[in-house]
Amino acid sequence: MTNLLRVFTILLCILCTLGCNSPDDTENVNQNQARSVPLLNAIYKYKVDQGLFPTDVDVLLNDYILQLPRTVNGNEYQYKLSPRKDANHFVLTFDMKNDAYCSFRSDLDDWECGFGLDH
């Protein structure tokens, strides 16, 4: 099942890349993923220190990160913690054009990209 999920994730990323309007869009995806690294590092460091992922990224400010990164378009990354107490994972998302998005899922430890409003 895990291999099937990884294949699905890869296919979604390929579809996202193919659905982009220009090479600049693909570069934006790469840049936005790279810009999120300090935030992802802060989230994981918080979990090491506190035992759980943060409920909100604002709690990371000052102790774990000096400022929250923004996407290349100046937008904030959207952070959602799993609502299930027994499933401690999160999703970090940035939106793109045409209802496309990319999300880092901590339960997969990977990025997935797709289309639609349900992300």
CATH code at 66? 3.30.700
Helices (H) and strands (E) in the chain, counts: 3, 4
> Which tokens sit at 105?
């899922």
pLDDT at 72: 92
pLDDT at 14: 53
Of 103, 104, 105, 37, nearest to 114 (Cα)?
A: 103
Number of domains the chain is built from:
1
Q: What spatial distance separates the first Cα and last Cα of the chain, rounded to whole Å? A: 21
Domain range for 44: 2-115
Polymer length of the chain: 119
pLDDT for 73-91, tens place per residue? 899 999 999 887 666 899 9
Reported as type and span, the H/E element at residue 78 is strand 78-81
pLDDT at 4: 53
Per-residue pLDDT of the chain (119 residues; tens, 9 = 90+): 555 555 455 545 555 554 444 555 788 899 999 999 999 999 999 999 999 999 999 999 999 999 999 999 899 999 999 887 666 899 999 988 777 899 999 999 999 988 875 55
Label residue 29 exposed, middle or buried (CB < 10 Å: 0-12, 13-18, 19+).
buried
